Each structure stands twice: as structure tokens, then as C-alpha cells.
Structure 1
Amino acid sequence: MIQNFILAESATDAASKTKEILAQVTAWKITQAFVILALAYAAIRLIDWLVIALSEKVAKEWRLRVKQFLPFLRMGVLTSALIILMNLFLNLSQENIFAVTGTVAVAVGFAFKDYVSSVIAGIIGIFEASYRVGDRVTIGGEYGEVIGYGLRGVRIQTPTDNIVTIPHNQIWTSGVSNANMGRLEAQVVTSFFLAHHVDVALVEKILYRVAHTSKYTHLQLPIVVIMEDCHWGSLFKLKCYPLDARNEFLYKSDLTRRAKYLFSKQQISYPQLLKIPDTAASATAHQ
């Protein structure tokens, strides 16, 4: 009983202090808040532009390292803006903070639980580095390059140039596949579908030659050819690394185009599609 009485009295005091704080909210303070938010937004846009521009000016091997400063700088601007706004409306006194957190926290927690979950996941993601700006990742079935790291989510540019925003809290329930983990290089796997009777040694020789002579290939990293026998034919996979992960699709096209030319020159055949007879047509013809 005493404990319940104390809790009820504390809630009453918190409510009264909240009313006092709300009574001090003026049009001038609201105007200041809008100005602070506008300045914070402008600062974030300016930081994005400066960091991206700088990353394109420095040496290639430093490009991703420069871009990886973006989340920390954004977080600094947002944290500063939040502190200024709290001081503007709450004066950051112990009593005011207790009053607001005591009465508003529950309501905000229920209303914005998914948003808060994403923010917390984003903060954890900065330190765990599951994905960073410039990484090529697959999250929730979406693949592309990380081009933005916001407070709530990460922005991915897909191979078709779509911009997909994925909330950070996806990392609680989904796996994150990262192809390069902050490095310039990311392995590219190119598949070739050939007939059963091809000369395996010749095909492997051609694929190794194609990889070694491509202008995109990072020759200091492994080049591997693997083969798998399937019911329809032979599947060859060429695994190698471009000098820059940005060139992933140009690299794959270059490898495929030159390999097809050499296959044609050596008369290496592709799997033949089996023609399945039309049962209905056959029955009609038989009648």
C-alpha cells in the first residue's frame, strides 16, 4: 500500500511538472526549434556532400575509409541538435528530465518502439560494422551498395539504380551478407553453362586466361575455376576479384563476353534444350 501510494504521488508530481514545462513553451521557442532542425538538416546535407566529394578526390584505396566517417559525423550533428532542443524546452535540470521521462517515456515507447529499435540497432551497427558506406551487401533480400547510413535506416543502391531504404532493426531478425567488408575488392562469381562432353581442361584454361587478361582483374588475389556436373550439362564458375567492387557488373560482362568468344573459336558447345513432345498433339495425330 505504501509503495503504491509513493508511486502514485511520484506520478502526480511528474504530471504537474510536465504541465509547468508545457506552459513555458512559447511561439519563440517553437520558432527556434524549427531553425535548429533546419540547420541540422543543412549540416547533414553539407557533410554528405563534402565527404562524398572528398572520397572521390583521395587515392582509390582510401575512398571507402573516408566514406565510413559519414555515420559518425551524422550522429554527432543529430546528437548536438537533440541536446540543444532539450535544453531549449527542458533546461536539462534533473527534475525536468525526470518529469518528462516519467510521463512521456511510456507513450513514446509504445508509439515509436519500431523507430527506437531501428535507432538502437543503427548505433550498435556503427560499432559492430556489419555494413558501412561503400560496402556491397544483401539485407532482407535486397542487394546493392550502401550509399547512406541514417539514424533510422541504411540506403542501398541496387544494380538497377533503385534506392532502397532498409531499417536498421532488420539486423535483429535477418542475416547481413557483406561482400567486401570495407575493402575495395569483392569476389565476383561468373557462371558458364556448357554441354556434358566439353573438354574440361580446355574450358578451365580458357577461363583462367580470360580472368588473367582482363583489365579489371586484381591479379594479387585468387582466381579459381570450379566445375559442377548437372543433369542438363556442366556448370563452370569463375571466381575472381575486380580491382574495384564498383566495377562488379562491368567485370562480369567483360569476362562473359571474352569467354564466349573463345568458346566459339574452340567450338565448345552449350547444353541442348530437350524438346518435350506435346502429349495432346501426339494423341490427336495418332487418332
Structure 2
Amino acid sequence: MSPYVKVSTNLVIVLTAIVSASSSMGQELSDTPEIALGQLSELIRWSGVLSSVVLVLAVVVGMRFIHNIVQQISEQFVQRRLLLHKLETILQFAVYITTTIVVFNLSLRVDERVLALIGGTLAVAVGFGLKDLVASFIAGLIIMIDRPFQVGDRLSFDEQYGDVVSIGLRSVRLKTLNDDIVTIPNNKFLSDTTVSGNFGELDMHVGMDFFIGYDQDVSTARAIIEEAAASSRYIHLPRPIVVLVEQTVLDNYVAIKLRLKAYVLDTRYEKLFETDVNLRVIEAFRKKDIKPAAILHRHLQHPESEPAQPPLENSAKGTNS
């Protein structure tokens, strides 16, 4: 949703609420000359409406300009990318709220009658039609204060995985790894579990699993995985590289699982890092003849067992002689 639509929607909601409340109170309004239906037009400042439209357009252009500037600076100063996105989000909240208040004051003649009418109308509207919208708005403020995630974080939420590109008054926009934009209402984050891969940092933990046969050289395989990760161009070396080894059951037979725990230097390179390490490990495993897990067939013979009897033909020949 664009900033123009966001600000305009708030104004439309207020005006619609006034009209709906007036029509629903029909008889009462007709008995009260002070707030008669015909006087509602007097509450609207038509010159202010024009000024509000100009203000909204100016805000749209200004926020778009700021967004482009932030994007350009982020590309030049990668280490400050997340900080710039945070500041942009805070500025958007402040501008949207301020613009909504200013548009309201410019478009309506606010007095005691208007406040009483709007107060009662909003109470009914929130209870019925605006419950989800207000819940999302409040949730957006809570997200900004509590900060379970931030703009630029790589987020996993409700089977969606991607980067947070914006935190708005109503929703959060997530850009998936397939370049799809997913819009999630803010109030969803108050009740469901959210997983942040980097939590405000550029580097991010990446876990990768490798499986080899139970009879293979585990030490060599582990050294290969460590070297493949350490030599990748996308590795964040200040963080440790760990390879954990454990036995596991894979398709009903025992295998050796080696789990790599490393850090990529930027969340944007997560999949490139995984691809790079996988290619290196596969090639090295092939050279060292380290094979994947497979079912082993063992032929066991008891040490105290008697030797096998000779063939019947040999024994028969020995008897004849």
C-alpha cells in the first residue's frame, strides 16, 4: 500500500464514519437541529480538503525521494544498510501519523459536536468494521517499540522466508528468496512465532547437513567440510566454524551426519554460500572416495564353528580307494 493510499484511507475512514453515524441515528439527528444531517456539509472545510490533497501528494513525493536516497546510500555503505532502513521506518511512522492529524484538522471544523460525534462513531466502528485495522496499527507500534525484528532482517514466519523490506502502519512486507513480496498484517506477529536469522546484524548463521556412510573416514570428511567453508568467499571468518558429528538413522539404516555451523558475511549471500560449500564438498568427497550412506551387508562366522564338510564326491572317492 503506497503512502498516498495509507493517508487517504485514514481521511476516508473518518469521513465515512461521520456519514454512517449520521444516517444510522436518523430520527435523533432530525430532532437535534445542532447536528442535523444537512449541517454535516458545514463541518467539512472544502478549501482544507484541497490543501490536504496537496499535502498528501507532497508527502508521497518526499517519502519516495527519501527511500531512493536510502537505497543509494545503502549500496555504497553496506555496513550501515540496516541502520539506514531502521531510521527510514521510524521516519515513515512519524510522517504518516503527523500527516493524518494535519489532514484531519485541515479537512474538518473540529468543535465539541464533531468530537462527540466522531468519538461515538469510532467506538462503534472499531467494534465492528475497524477492529482488524486498529489491531494492526497498534501491533505496528508494538513492533517498533519491542523490535522482535527489524527492516533488513531475514525472517521466517508462517511458512514464509525472506527479508523484511518495510514495516508499515498496517502490515509488514517480506521479500522471499523467489523475489515475491508477501504482505502480512501486523497483528499476526503478536500471536505467532517469528524467527529472525540475523536480528539486526549483517552476518547470519547458516546450518548445512552432510551424510556419509557408517564405514567411511569421518575425520577426513569433517576436515573437508571445514576447509570448504573456510575457503568460501562468502564466509564471515570472525565467527567460528563448527562441524558436529552424530550417528543418525536415514531411511531405516545407520548413517553419519555432519552438520556445518558457519556464518555468512551478508544475509543476501546465504544461498550462494550454501551452493559454494556444497560444490566444494561434493568434489572433495569424490576425490577422497568418501561415499554416501548405504545399507551394509555383513557375513559373520563364529570362531568356534567346525570347518565345512567336504563334498560328497570327494568322500566317496576316498572310501573307494
C-alpha separation between the residues in 1 aligned to 2:97 and 2:85?
20
Shift of 1:110: 1.7
Check if 1:56 corresponds to 2:75.
yes
Shift of 1:16: 4.8
C-alpha separation between the residues in 2 aligned to 1:204 and 1:135?
31
1:127 is matched with 145
C-alpha separation between the residues in 1 aligned to 2:113 and 2:62?
32
Letter matched to residue 230 of structure 2: H
- What is the count of residue pairs matched by the alignment? 264
C-alpha separation between the residues in 1 aligned to 2:122 and 2:192?
31
C-alpha separation between the residues in 1 aligned to 2:227 and 2:176?
30
1:8 is matched with none
1:73 maps to which of 79, 85, 91: 91
Secondary structure of residue in 2 paired with 1:131: coil
Check if 1:259 corresponds to 2:277.
no
Shift of 1:27: 4.8
Q: Deviations over 1:97-138 (max 9, x none)?
A: 333112233124421211111111111101111111110011
Secondary structure of residue in 1 paired with 2:204: coil
Matches within 5 A, 1:175-190: 175-190=193-208
1:240 is matched with 262
1:43 is matched with 62
Provide closer, same or farther for how the CA distance between residues 27 and 175 of structure 1 changes in structure 2, counting only shifts above 3 A.
same
Confirm or deny: 8 A CA contact 2:44 2:108 kept in the other structure: no
Confirm or deny: 8 A CA contact 1:138 1:177 kept in the other structure: yes
Q: Deviations over 1:150-169 (max 9, x none)?
A: 11111111111111111111
Matches within 5 A, 1:42-191: 42-58=61-77, 60-93=78-111, 96-191=114-209
> Structure 1: which 4+ aligned runs deviate by more than 6 Å?
11-15
2:219 is matched with 201
Secondary structure of residue in 2 paired with 1:198: coil
TM-score by length of structure 1 reads 0.83
Structure 1 residue ranges without an equivalent (≥5): 1-10, 275-287
Letter matched to residue 48 of structure 1: H
Structure 2 residue ranges without an equivalent (≥5): 1-27, 297-321
1:285 is matched with none
C-alpha separation between the residues in 1 aligned to 2:32 and 2:61?
36
Secondary structure of residue in 2 paired with 1:99: helix
C-alpha separation between the residues in 1 aligned to 2:156 and 2:36?
45
Check if 1:215 corresponds to 2:233.
yes
C-alpha separation between the residues in 1 aligned to 2:169 and 2:142?
11
Confirm or deny: 8 A CA contact 2:209 2:257 kept in the other structure: yes
C-alpha separation between the residues in 2 aligned to 1:265 and 1:131?
43
Structure possessing the higher radius of gyration over alpha carbons = 2
Secondary structure of residue in 1 paired with 2:198: coil
Provide closer, same or farther for how the CA distance between residues 56 and 100 of structure 1 changes in structure 2, counting only shifts above 3 A.
same
Provide closer, same or farther for how the CA distance between residues 22 and 223 of structure 1 changes in structure 2, counting only shifts above 3 A.
farther
Shift of 1:185: 0.8
C-alpha separation between the residues in 2 aligned to 1:15 and 1:74?
42
Provide closer, same or farther for how the CA distance between residues 65 and 256 of structure 1 changes in structure 2, counting only shifts above 3 A.
same
Shift of 1:40: 2.6
Shift of 1:95: 5.1
Provide closer, same or farther for how the CA distance between residues 183 and 16 of structure 1 changes in structure 2, counting only shifts above 3 A.
farther
How well do the aligned residues superpose, as a CA RMSD in angstroms? 2.6
Confirm or deny: 8 A CA contact 1:21 1:89 kept in the other structure: no
Confirm or deny: 8 A CA contact 2:126 2:134 kept in the other structure: no
Q: Deviations over 1:60-114 (max 9, x none)?
A: 3212111111221111211121111111133444553333112233124421211
Q: Deviations over 1:209-263 (max 9, x none)?
A: 1122112111111211112322222222111001112111111111111011111
C-alpha separation between the residues in 2 aligned to 1:163 and 1:15?
51
2:309 is matched with none
Secondary structure of residue in 2 paired with 1:261: helix
